[in-house]
Amino acid sequence: MSADTETGPDPAKPRRRLPLFALLPLLIFAALAGLFLFQLVLGRDPATLPSALLDKPAPEMALAPVEGLTRDGQPVPGFSGADLKGGVTVVNVFASWCVPCRQEHPLLEELGKDERVRLIGINYKDKPENARRFLGSLGNPYDRIGADDTGRAAIEWGVYGVPETYILDSAGIIRFKYIGPLSPESYRDVFLPQLERVFALPPG
């Protein structure tokens, strides 16, 4: 075969390049994603993420008790919207499979000794036997516990993930939300001052 009949890439012909405007949407998406990540993870404490329910009534719902759960020999009742009114209430979302829930539990035990507070639990996507074992080993500080087997209640409450803790005033209005596990420092420096602020509010 002669050199005149050989075929191949023409070194003089420029390669086709992807137009810049075709990459523009990808670059914009990457920039927005980076900005969101910075604000969410680096620029803001996750415990202070905004909640659409702040300063609004707690969701109206009724949750059945955790099956077979007792305290001092008496069944621990579930709760409804009426149980969230008439006094300052703290609602804590927890689960036996949640490791951070175990870490914050001693602080809830301490909070449960405050007679000014009604402490209510939402047991999130848990098996009754596991919830009973969890509270049996760590102690049960809750006055009432509702079983959220399906996770529907957590959606209504706007839960990001367990654990989460809410402070409600005497009218059942959500006044504060803490996302994530309470630590001794955040309990002392953030949560308790917010609780005292709610105690100081005029009755609803």
- Whether 127 shows a pLDDT value over 50: the answer reads yes
Q: Which two three-digit tokens encode residue 147?
A: 């079983």
Q: Which class in CATH covers the domain with range 49-199?
A: alpha beta
Please state, in angstroms and rounded to a whole number, the distance separating the CA atoms of residues 198 and 175.
7
Q: Which residues, 6+ apart, have CB-to-CB distance to 101 below 8 Å?
A: 94, 95, 162, 163, 181
pLDDT of residue 21: 58
Write down the pTM of the prediction: 0.77
- Whether 137 shows a pLDDT value over 70: the answer reads yes
pLDDT tens per residue across span 73-117: 999 999 999 999 999 999 999 999 999 999 999 999 999 999 999
pLDDT of residue 26: 61
Q: Domain spans of the chain? A: 18-46, 49-199
pLDDT tens per residue across span 9-51: 555 555 555 565 565 666 565 554 443 433 333 334 445 555 6
How many Cβ atoms are within 10 Å of 169's Cβ, its own excluded?
Answer: 22
